[in-house]
Structure 1
Amino acid sequence: MDQGTSMIAAIKAFAELSGNPGAVFSAANIDRPNVDKTPAPAPVPATALSTSLRNSGSMELS
């Protein structure tokens, strides 16, 4: 875990244990995590896709 990730984890843990997590996140100047924990909606299937093969061997998707 890099230093930034561990700092965010420490702030989140401290906020959970405090009596006022909103104040902790505000003082740390980071956004408060979504408390609803609702799942993201299903992705919309892609339509009208086309591909072309380039001379380099790569494929272009549009």
Structure 2
Amino acid sequence: MSTVAELAAQIQQLSPEDRHELMRLLLVDSDDRDQDADEAWQKEIVRRVKAIRSGEAAIRALQDEWRE
């Protein structure tokens, strides 16, 4: 039996209140990872906007075309 199947069987044994608390904990953990991803994307967006404004992005696009 896989670990996930074992966990699912154990979760079924929990009271509704305990299952609710477990779901809340899992969602909070998941939200923390999403926040890290959001921060990383925000930094990437800022980097790309700066590259566009400085003209670096346009230069890279031309260089990529020349390589093809």
* TM-score for both structures, normalised by structure 1: 0.28
Which structure has the larger Rg?
Answer: 2
* TM-score for both structures, normalised by structure 2: 0.26
* Larger RCO, structures 1/2 (Cα 8 Å, 6+ apart): 1
Q: Which has the higher helix share?
A: 2
